[in-house]
Every structure is written in C-alpha cells, then in structure tokens.
Amino acid sequence: MKFRFSGKPLLAMSMSAAVLAGCVSSAAIVPQPRTQPSAAVRGPSGSVTVPIGQPVRSAMPRPAGPVDPGFRRAPAGLNDRIYELWRAFPGKTGIAVQRIDGEWSLSQRGGELFPQQSVSKLWVALTVLDAVDQGRMTLDQRVRIGPEDLVVFHQPLAARVRAEGSVTMSVRDLIETAITHSDNLANDSLLRTVGGPAAVRAFITKKDLGSIRFGPGERLLQAGTAGLTWQQSYSVGRNFQTARAALPAATRQAAMDNYLANPVDGASPAAIASALTRLARGTLLSPESTEYLQGVMSRTRSGPRRLKAGLPPGWQFMHKTGTGQNLGGMTAGYNDIGIATAPDGTRYAIVVMMGTTTAGIPARMALMQSVSSAVAEYHGR
C-alpha cells in the first residue's frame, strides 16, 4: 500500500498490521515545560538523568526592529503537521524541534527516553572538547590503539589496527573519525582517553543537559543488549554475531526487552534538542571548540537519506545518527539528530528517534525526511 506523509506519496512498503503498543497518543504537540535544575538521578550502570534546566537567554540573539512572529512561537500549522507524521508512524517514536534563534520548541514524546546508540558519540566529543577547553587535553594529543581495544560492529579503524599491530592517532583525528564515520573504535578510544563513562556523565551533570544518559561503552552496551557477557574475542571477525545467534531466543528477547524498557543509553528528544541549541548558541564549549565541532558534524557521512534528505537546496545540516541492533524485524534505536540552517541563517534543532519500529528502512527514512521538510516548509510563515 502507499504510506503517505504530509499529503505526499512516499515509498511503497509492506507494513506490519500490528502497531507496537503505545505508538499513538491523542495529545496535541505542546512546547515542553521548563523546570529548574535539580539533583541528578543515577540509573542502571551508573547512567545519569538530569532534569532540563532553564533556556539560555543571554546567548539568544533577538531580532533588531520588529520581532519576527516565528521568533516567539512555532509557525501555525507546524504542530499539526508534526503530530500527524508522528501519529501515523508505527512504533514508539519521538520527535522534537526547537528554534535555536528563538523561543519555542515542540515535540511528541519529547520527555521519554529512547535508545541513543551512536547519537551518544556526540556527548563523548563534547566531553573531550570541554577537557581541551580546560587545558586537560589537547587536540594534538596522541592515543595508541591496539588489538586489546577493538570493539564490535562498525569500526573501520580496526582494519588498520589488525594490519599494523597498533595505530597511534591524534585526538583531533579520532573525533573526526568517530563523528563523521561513526567509528565505534575511534569513539571508545576517545572515551577511554577522557576518563571513561564517568567523565561523560560528569559533563552531562555539570552542564545540566537534561534527560540524557550515557551507557557503559560500546562493548558492554552491545553485549548487554544481545544478552551476552562481553569477551574480547567477540571483537574479531563475526564472533559477536556467532555468539549472539547461539543464544536461546528467549534469552535474546528478554535482554532486548529489558534494554528497551529502560535504556542505559537513553535520552529524551527534547533534551537532545535543547543540548543542540546550547551547542549552537555557544554556551557549552569555547568559541573555538564550538566552531570546530559543528564543522565536524557538517561532514557526517552516515544517514544521508535521513533528516538531511528532506531539506531543500540552500539549507545546511550538521548531524549525528544512531542505529541499534535488530531482532525479529524490529530495530532498537534508529535515530538522527542535528542542526538545520535556513538560507537566511535561521537555525533549528531537529531530533527524530525511533525506539522500536517494524517499519522498513525506506519508511523510517521517509518519516525523517518529512519532519525536516515540514520545518523547512513552515520556516518564515
């Protein structure tokens, strides 16, 4: 059948007749309430959840002369468009949009936790750059990576390690590789160098980033999601996939259900949109680090058919994707988060996170494209 978003036909697909529980809500989209920062809540494996703080007003430029109506409130009709896109999509999906150079945000399931997967690489990069800003690290610092450091899944850098025995790279090159190529080995090498998961959680707490957790690192995260206990031999070839396939189906399902019910790397779409807004406004890092990281994000190669593909010519986009493991046709985490810049310089934080969905990949990408296309369509109204 034809699945339609925004009144326009999208890719044909076969969809499951059953919609995952909880995927539809009758609540209209409303701006997310702001609360005063309070103490962090520590979750499983030391993950941290921090309530969203007050928006940073001082860094938000106000228009000179008459105030653009879109500065203070979302364009009429955008709420309804986002709601309809969200309501029609099968599975648990979260969407958040925030005008960076303005005062409004909107979301669906904006406050709920969704698996981040590789979206969390952004928090590692931010933590490293914060350490650079404080003089505790430098971008030219060298990091050795050996066979004992190899991880699992997407790690193109591992081929060099196996061929050369070990590789030494600068922090600068590791950030570029982790973000633009979503390389798990480069990211975990940065994580190890900056002080491990505890350092990232401390950064999240210090900056009051909101409902954002950081998990135990790639190896333990993926092993736990699969129902395995990590062994370093899993980093070689397809040993991880072989060990995972040998598990009883009930073990795998239970591990996946536990992860989805309380994701150790969970984050809310509204908190991520707020963090992107603060990054773009320059209130998380020094001006030099802010410019550097946004430049890296603009070179991201993963997910070219996700949010980026929905923006018209003349728009710019910097982003980070995240994709989780599959089980029985369901993917635990299919995400894209980023900053879209209109030709007139107006910026929007856009977040789409799919916690669970049985929809095919073309349909997932079509939803993301429809969300970013809607933001562009209503811009300036």
Where does the pLDDT of residue 64 fall: very low under 50, low under 70, confident under 90, or very high at 90 and above?
low
Statement: residue 49 has pLDDT above 60:
no
C-alpha closest to that of 108 among 235, 243, 270: 270
Where does the pLDDT of residue 61 fall: very low under 50, low under 70, confident under 90, or very high at 90 and above?
low
Q: Given this structure, which CATH class describes domain 4-378?
A: alpha beta
Number of H helices, E strands in the chain: 13, 15
Tens digit of each residue's pLDDT (9 = 90 or more) over 227-271: 999 999 999 999 999 999 999 999 999 999 999 999 999 999 999
| Mean residue pLDDT across the chain | 86
Statement: residue 14 has pLDDT above 70:
no
- The more confidently predicted of residues 71 and 212 is 212
- The more confidently predicted of residues 31 and 317 is 317
Tens digit of each residue's pLDDT (9 = 90 or more) over 88-141: 999 999 999 999 999 999 999 999 999 999 999 999 999 999 999 999 999 999
Inter-residue contact 105 to 31 (CB < 8 Å): yes
What pLDDT was estimated at residue 29? 34
- The more confidently predicted of residues 16 and 308 is 308
Span 34-57, average pLDDT: 36
Q: Where are the beta strands (DSSP E) in 164-315?
A: 167-170, 266-267
Q: Both tokens of residue 174? A: 């590791």
C-alpha closest to that of 138 among 114, 188, 172, 112: 172
Q: Both tokens of residue 251? A: 């073990």
What pLDDT was estimated at residue 6? 41
Where does the pLDDT of residue 42 fall: very low under 50, low under 70, confident under 90, or very high at 90 and above?
very low
Letter string b/e over residues 25-62, b meaning 16 or more CB atoms within 10 A of that residue's CB:
eeeebebbeeeeeeebeebebebbbbbbbeeeeeebee
Q: How many residues does the chain have?
A: 381
CA dist 375 and 336 (Å) reads 15
C-alpha closest to that of 321 among 362, 354, 360: 354
C-alpha closest to that of 187 among 237, 276, 119, 261: 119
Please give the share of the chain, as a percent, with pLDDT higher than 70.
82
CA dist 125 and 367 (Å) reads 28
Statement: residue 33 has pLDDT above 80:
no
Statement: residue 145 has pLDDT above 80:
yes
DSSP secondary structure string for all residues of 189-200: HHHHHHTSHHHH
pTM of the model: 0.83
Cβ count within 10 A of residue 257: 12
Statement: residue 7 has pLDDT above 80:
no
Across the beta sheet with 347-356, what order do the strands follow? 105-108, 92-99, 347-356, 334-341, 316-323
Span 192-221, average pLDDT: 98
* The one-letter amino acid at 93: T
Tens digit of each residue's pLDDT (9 = 90 or more) over 262-314: 999 999 999 999 999 999 999 999 999 999 999 999 999 999 999 999 999 99
